[in-house]
Amino acid sequence: MSVAHNQLRVARELWKRLHPLDRGVPARLQALLADRRFGSRDRRLYRELLFTALRHARPLAALAGLEELAWAARLATACADSRETEAFRAAFAPAAPPAPPHPLDLVPAWFSNEADAGAPAPAVAAALLARAPVWVRLDPAHSDEAHAEWDARGWTSQPHPVLTSARRLPPETGVTACSSYLNGRYEVQDLGSQALLAALDLPARSPGPRWLDACAGAGGKTLQLAALLGPAARIDAADVRTSALVELRARAARAGLASRIRTLPRANTGELYDGVLVDAPCSGSGTWRRAPHLMACTGEAELAAAARLQSLILAESAPHVRPGGLLVYATCSIARLENESVAAAFIATHGDRFLAEPSALDLGFPRLPHGLAITPGHWDNDGFYLAVFRRR
């Protein structure tokens, strides 16, 4: 059996074991690739093939189980051209590659009607199907240390034309193995995520330094918020998941921001803040570049359920905003039902206490009637949504 045919056999086996395509895929993929029979090049190969298969899951499902060569041809044509995939592509990519599938043929059926990211649906879909680079947010005071280490490893970073602390590196760059990362000189954070808080123009337009991050998770935006607000920042980071808060505390200590951040399982009843960030749980449809498995397990029912939860969290967070303070609503979704619809419904029911206002900056992204669409691919970024409300 040739090397390429053995790779195909293993890839088909892993693809079968990766099912069902639900939110447990990342954990199963990590476990599968931890197999001791795989070296580092094998892991990179099968990760690339499986991610390609996830992006093409809809047409692959239409192939009969025995159409092994058709399955291989689609992956070989669509996967990245790299040293790891060279043998696979040479063996199975057609001599005359077919035209690439239309982006809307790869995304869920609801996408065309629901995508609301300030750009045509096919363009948004194409951006979400592309391979994602690595974006980092530098600590400006120690950027030289990071750049020196990247240069020594032969990595080239690209600055962003607007967000001066953002740097882009090629996909799969192992930036978390660097001593400068371990020393807190930068955080891995997608450009779209960075842009979301940057659009608030903090600290210049912050009502004050006391903030609540109501759905903090592992704290990517919490850390950015603490850095933007400066030494006076006092942030309560709340999340019901204990493991996420443990990771947040470790990241805050590494970044030298632990004194500005307090972690809580939930916000204290009756406490008021200058600003409240609701980075709400969502479908994750803006992150399909990094999590393509979500395409297969996100239907209209999931969008509706997410919107109900988002509206509930937003309503529960509103009483924590002091008069004159800000309530910031954010998702990593491109779905109208989770974004504009939630923002419009909030103002319809809370307009006596809150005013919708545009974000201070748009950073080149399109404004929607109730918020800002962080359009996927605009700056080679993931997709996000931002809406801002001010307490009367």
pLDDT one-digit tens code per residue, 7-47: 999 999 999 999 999 999 999 999 999 999 999 999 999 99
State the angle between helix axes of 40-55 and 68-78 in degrees (0 to 180), rounded to the nearest 10: 100
Tokens of 17: 């074991």
Distance (Å, rounded) from C-alpha 60 to C-alpha 73?
11
What is the per-residue DSSP string for 284-352? -GGGTTT-GGGGTT--HHHHHHHHHHHHHHHHHHGGGEEEEEEEEEEES--BTTTTHHHHHHHHHHHTT
pTM (2 d.p.): 0.95
Give the pLDDT of residue 96. Answer: 86
Give the pLDDT of residue 233. Answer: 97
Q: How far is CA 275 from CA 170, 226, 346, 381, in A?
A: 35, 12, 17, 26
| Domains in the chain: ranges and CATH | 3-101 (no CATH), 134-188 (3.30.70.1170), 193-391 (3.40.50.150)
Distance (Å, rounded) from C-alpha 155 to C-alpha 104?
34
E strand or H helix that includes residue 238 = strand 234-238
Sequence-distant (≥ 6) Cβ neighbours of residue 301 within 8 angstroms: none
Give every residue of the chain whose pLDDT is below 50, as ranges.
none
Residue of 332, 342, 380, 390 lying closest to 117 (CA atoms): 332
